[in-house]
Amino acid sequence: MNFWESLYKNKLMLTGGGLVLLLLVISILAPWLAPYDPGQIDLNNVLAAPSMQHWFGTDQLGRDVLSRMIWGARISLKVGFVATGFAILIGTVLGAVSGYYGGWVDSVIMRFVDIMLCFPTFFLILAVIAFLEPSIWNIMIIIGVTGWMGVTRLVRADFISLRERDFVHAAKAIGAGDLRIIFMHILPNSMASILVAATLGIAGAILTESALSFLGIGVQPPTPSWGNILTAGKDNIDIAWWLSLYPGLAILMTVVGYNLLGEGIRDLLDPRLKK
């Protein structure tokens, strides 16, 4: 069975990839898809129910919810990719060094990982944000630098398994240095695991950003974010159900899409799962 046949039969990847692609297209075309300026205030249409004029209704300031959600998709993608990029970079480097060298290097790095895992990640993020300005870039960096531990363990396990393979011994025999062996020989064989971790990490980063924005310490108004739209929904849940329903569904579909895509990539690339 070739790659394209495997891809066609991989329903998880096709479903997840379709949802992720839809989100990507919406975020790229936001200036053209949004029917209104997301920051446009209309006090004559405060908390207006969904209608032909405002498909998803309006918020407490009369702003169009659909427009704010479309622009909020950009925020979600930016947070997901940048935060996960930081986490993957840190986790890959530390995991590679730990798994390749072993010994005291492995012990020091893994004890540091254990210490970091002792702290609940979300509360660690809250503690750090308390000392910093709650800007979108601070949010992305904080989520990234507090989410690398799982990647480190995953990459370390792959390196421990791969460092004793014949191709590694052959590379050492011809005089290849440690950095070349790590990044040119072993790391490419770990990319499947890293790619899956990155895909699942994006979903986690988007969910974390939404939770922080919901609590009022994430993306700050008037910048549109699914999380701060939900905050307005919480304050008006009894009279404006649309402020909670639509952004909640958007977050759900996005996280499910990335999780399905990650599982599909794992099934496609992991030879141990092929029949």
Query: How do the pLDDT tens digits run along the chain, 275 residues long?
Result: 555 666 667 777 788 888 999 989 998 998 899 888 888 888 888 888 888 888 998 888 889 999 999 998 888 888 889 999 999 999 999 999 999 998 899 999 999 999 888 877 778 787 777 777 777 888 888 888 888 998 999 999 989 988 888 888 888 888 888 888 888 888 888 888 888 889 888 988 888 888 888 888 878 878 888 888 888 888 788 888 888 899 999 999 999 998 888 888 877 776 555 54
**253 domain-assigned:** yes
The tokens of 162 are what?
A: 């791969």
Q: Is residue 25 in some structural domain?
A: no
Closest CA to 137 of 195, 86, 177, 178: 86
Q: What's the CA angle centered on 202, arms 199 and 207, to 5 degrees?
A: 135
**126 conformational bin, left if phi > 0, alpha if psi -120 to 50, beta if neither:** alpha
Contact 209, 139 (CB under 8 A): yes
Is residue 46 situated within a structural domain?
no
Q: Does 93 fall in a domain?
A: yes
In a domain, 224, yes or no: yes
* CA distance linking residue 245 with residue 119, whole number of Å: 32
210 in any annotated domain: yes
Residue 230 lies in a domain: yes
Nearest CA to 155 out of 87, 218, 225 is that of 87
Structural domain span for residue 93: 56-273
Give the per-residue pLDDT at 1.
52
What pLDDT shows up at residue 275? 47
Nearest to 110 by CA among 154, 50, 174: 154
Domain with residue 108: its CATH number is: 1.10.3720.10
8 lies in some domain? no
CB within 8 A of 12, min separation 6: which ones?
260, 261, 263, 264, 267
Number of domains the chain is built from:
1
